Chains A and B, each alone.
Chain A
Amino acid sequence: DAGVTQSPTHLIKTRGQQVTLRCSPKSGHDTVSWYQQALGQGPQFIFQYYEEEERQRGNFPDRFSGHQFPNYSSELNVNALLLGDSALYLCASSLTLGGGGYTFGSGTRLTVV
């Protein structure tokens, strides 16, 4: 039973560029949440997708956007990258908005130079 899969594992981008991160949820899960974990900090909630719609959003600017596909996989897009966007981006999947708990992927390490 595959867990949560994120790609790529590492990424280096230049300031001002755009980036897309991808997440495949655990089998049987239909909800995907994204978190940003800056170095030395706890993860911060970005947003959550369920039934292909953004259901909740944390305190992140509109440069952060997402999408969920019919197969429940999800993308996180960040536009106009800033140095401060450098972080580990974690995807968590769950069943129906969190029922049964959350399974996290290993994350994508984004470095903005």
Chain B
Amino acid sequence: AQSVAQPEDQVNVAEGNPLTVKCTYSVSGNPYLFWYVQYPNRGLQFLLKYITGDNLVKGSYGFEAEFNKSQTSFHLKKPSALVSDSALYFCAVTPGSGNTGKLIFGQGTTLQVKP
């Protein structure tokens, strides 16, 4: 079955420290990979995506993600966390190869950044 796993329900980090939110996937082909962020009672905001090329993708608000095909992972990173980064983060992939118009989401990871 095609799936996305975010192994940590919550990640806690101190402001100014680097953060990593993990994501692994199990889909066939060469999927597109995404990270979205969700604030309380709001929709999803796009952070970044990987389609092809450089394995390190830079996105919005200083976030970046590293694609590792052999480990089927797409971890989200930021060198220095801000309290305002506290939110719910979702990893998503398109099943199959390329753009298939459907996103499969992980269950989400709550990021808590403490001052």
> A: which residues have CB within 8 A of B?
4, 6, 31, 33, 35, 40-45, 48, 50, 55-56, 58, 90, 92, 94, 97-99, 101-107, 109
Partner of B46, one of A31, A41, A102: A102
Contact B46 A43 (CB under 8 A): no
Asked whether A45 lies within 8 Å of B104 as measured between CB atoms, the reply is yes
> Chain A interface: which of B68-76, B77-85, B105-113?
B105-113
Whether the Cβ atoms of A41 and B108 lie closer than 8 Å is yes
- Please, could you name 27 A-B residue pairs with CB atoms under 8 Å apart, sorted by A? A4-B43, A31-B101, A33-B102, A33-B103, A35-B105, A41-B107, A43-B44, A43-B103, A45-B102, A45-B103, A48-B102, A56-B101, A56-B102, A90-B44, A92-B103, A97-B99, A98-B99, A98-B100, A98-B102, A101-B49, A102-B34, A102-B46, A102-B103, A103-B46, A104-B43, A104-B46, A107-B42
Query: In the bound complex, how far is the Cα of B107 from the Cα of A90, in angstroms?
Result: 15
List, in ascending order, chain B residues with CB within 8 A of A40's CB.
107-108
Q: How far is the CA of A104 from the CA of B102 in the complex (A)?
A: 13
B85 to chain A, nearest CB (A): 19
Chain B hits for A4, CB < 8 A: 43
Q: Give the residues in chain B near A101, CB-CB below 8 Å.
A: 34, 46, 49
Partner of A104, one of B4, B41, B45, B106: B45
> Given the interface contacts A41-B107, A42-B105, A42-B108, does A99 sit within 8 Å of B99 by beta carbon?
yes
CA distance A56 to B108 in the complex (A): 24
Please name all residues of chain A whose beta carbon is closer than 8 Å to the beta carbon of B102 when the two chains form the complex. Answer: 33, 45, 48, 56, 58, 98
CB distance from A105 to the nearest CB of B (A): 5
B105 with A106: CB separation less than 8 A: no
A19 to B6, CA, bound (A): 32
- Residue on B with the closest CB to A6? B43
